[in-house]
Amino acid sequence: MPDLPHTAAALRAVVADRTVSAEEVCRQTLERIAALDGRLHAFLHVDADRALDRARALDRLKVPAGPLHGVPIALKDNVITRDMPTTAGSHLLDGHRPLYNATVVDRLERAGAVIVGKTVCDEFAMGSSTEHCAFGPARNPWALDRVPGGSSGGSAVAVAAGLVPIALGSDTGGSIRQPAAFCGIVGLKPTYGRVSRYGLIAFASSLDQIGPLAHSVDDAALVLSVIGGHDPLDATSAAGQPFEAAGGRRDDLRGVRIGVPRALLETGVAADVTAAFDAALGVLTDLGATIVTIDLPHSRFAVPVYYLVATAEASSNLARYDGVRYGVRAAADSLGAMYDRTRSAGFGAEVKRRIMLGTYALSAGYYDAYYRKAQQVRTLIARDFDTAFDAVDLVALPTTPTTAFRFGAHLDDPLSMYVADVFTVSAPLAGLPAVSVPAGLSSEHLPIGLQLVGRAWDEAGLLRAAGAYERRTPWAGRRPRVLDA
Amino acid sequence: MAANLTLDDVRRVAALAHLTLTESEVETFAAQLGDILDWVNQIQATDTAGVDASHASMPTRADAWRDDVAVPSLRTADVIEGAPDAVPAAGLFRVPSVF
């Protein structure tokens, strides 16, 4: 059996024309996971029997099920699945089996995707490294002593290492784009409201959005076309025109204006990242785009704003974990003590820290100074983008200020991990779509990401530009060397 | 705004959040949250007079109104099956006494 195609689109084609069966694809996928995941720890749960059953059922169909017919996919473990455990990386949900599927799960399966398992994430999606996963972190396939990024780190590793062609993550402040950058793949955070969050375990509801991690921009578009669209079960999901993957490729960017917020890039960016970003701007220029310096003056407050808004919402969302209806309960002889002990034993340190910060920001006497003030500055951040988009079509930024860091580098100093979110938090605060695409390797042979941010609902324009860049550069085809050993 | 957190501040917030912290957690969080609050305080310098604090600036196409029609929901028996403690015959979750 020859090597299977890397991308979902190519894999779907060979399954749909019966060059290879969905079962064979699934079997090879499971074998690769079995061979490599001991070292990578991308997965928290793999259900081989269920996946093979699904694949065989697809093979029995007379016509392909849909645009992901026979394509294996992994899901971040905060996307709930009726037939598989869902923990969101937390001891509090150890052994939890949901009663229903997230809307995205049903949509993927209707499109013919074969869900192989659930991936490692920071607990309740709170983190940038997967080190806050209660069941151990995933490892970066480019360097096993480094983090894959987070919180959708397991999904990024699963794709980057070729265990699955595509995976879902969720992005609240960068949790799809940052691990995509660290692992050398494509990660897309759609416009707020594009994808239903019904069945996504909530972290910060005004920010959370589900999106794909993939080897190519085309694959990310394909997945978005399957999972996007209005869902009556999520009142924040948008009605209106759904996203269609076949929006048309373009290999020149003539007439496209790309804004670069230079003032944000002046400090704290590693030299390799700056060099790769400047080179990327050169490629975009060669493709015909015009690079324009823009100002996003309030985005320098984006990280503190994010950590107030997101933690405030988290403190409210995570109040549901009380040991009454699901998950793990700690024994106690009164109801109040049971709540406290269950939460204290079930939550890890980072989740407690964020709940505490959010509770403080919402508490009497501090609400106006912290939560309300942060929401006002958030409005200013969004307005800056509105103004910028009068003059440009896209905004370009590095995805991260550095390449993947070593395990433990930030564990004793949570603030130092937070500030590294500097380039990813603005887009979700403004609700905008953003994509990270591979943009080179550092001197240490670690991936670097280019981030493009688009106008609300303009994933088509965003992905056209990202795709043109991807096809002009060699980076999307690079694979981690460590796996050849 | 002075963001120095006392140990009692941390205990008060932990109680609001239904968390019981060890003394060493209280000390660690006082220092870490104090640092984080000092840092987030930089937003106080922004002029936000008259700025809307709502999500008016968020993109939305959602028409959140829908007809109020009852639809089938999860079966009670299924829901309580996953609970840490329940009385299936009564269709109820069971918790320790309130007092």
Taking contacts as CB-CB distances below 8 angstroms, the residues of chain A near B64 are: 235-236
Taking contacts as CB-CB distances below 8 angstroms, the residues of chain B near A415 are: 32, 35-36, 39
Say whether A62 is catalytic.
Answer: no
For an interface test with B, the pick among A350, A376, A432 (most B C-beta atoms closer than 10 Å) comes out as A376
Pairing mode, if any, of strands B92-93 and B86-87?
antiparallel
> How does pLDDT run across A112-143, given as a tens digit for each residue?
999 999 999 999 999 999 999 999 999 999 99
Say whether A225 is catalytic.
Answer: no
- pLDDT (mean) for B4-28: 95
Strand partners, A209: A171
Distance CA A313, CA A123 (A): 16
Q: Which of residues 35-54 of B touch A (CB under 8 A)?
A: 35-37, 39-44, 46, 48, 51-54
**A104 CB contacts (<8 Å, ≥6 apart)?**
A79, A168, A195, A196, A199, A200, A210, A227
From A341, which residue of chain B is nearest by alpha-carbon distance?
A: B20
CB distance A341–B20 less than 8 Å? yes
* Residue A223, pLDDT score: 98
* Residue B64, pLDDT score: 66
From the list A235, A369, A456, which residue is nearest B59 (CB)?
A: A456
Say whether A216 is catalytic.
Answer: no
Distance CA A283, CA B55 (A): 36
Of these residues, A90, A151, A170, A442, which one is catalytic? A151
Q: Please say if the pLDDT value at position B1 is more than 90.
A: no
pLDDT below 70 — which residues of chain A?
1-2, 246-248, 482-485
Q: Please say if the pLDDT value at position B57 is more than 70.
A: no
From A431, which residue of chain B is nearest by alpha-carbon distance?
A: B58
Report CA-CA distances (Å) from A123 to A86, A132, A200: 12, 6, 13
Query: Is A432 within 8 Å of A385 (Cβ atoms)?
Result: yes
Q: Please say if the pLDDT value at position B63 is more than 50.
A: yes
In this structure, how many other beta carbons lie within 10 angstroms of the beta carbon of residue A9? 20
> How does pLDDT run across B42-52, given as a tens digit for each residue?
999 999 999 98
* Residue A98, pLDDT score: 96
Distance CA A357, CA A372 (A): 14
Distance CA A218, CA A183 (A): 18
* Residue B62, pLDDT score: 52
| A-B C-beta contacts closer than 8 Å | 176
- B73 touches A: beta carbon within 8 Å: no
* Residue A481, pLDDT score: 76
- A360 touches B: beta carbon within 8 Å: yes
Of these residues, A170, A175, A196, A426, which one is catalytic? A175
> How does pLDDT run across A465-475, given as a tens digit for each residue?
999 999 999 99
Q: What's the 3-state SS for B8-56?
A: HHHHHHHHHCCCCCCHHHHHHHHHHHHHHHHHHHHHHHCCCCCCCCCCC
Q: Please say if the pLDDT value at position B2 is more than 50.
A: no
CB distance B95–A100 less than 8 Å? no
* Residue B59, pLDDT score: 66
Distance CA A394, CA A47 (A): 40
Taking contacts as CB-CB distances below 8 angstroms, the residues of chain B near A233 are: none
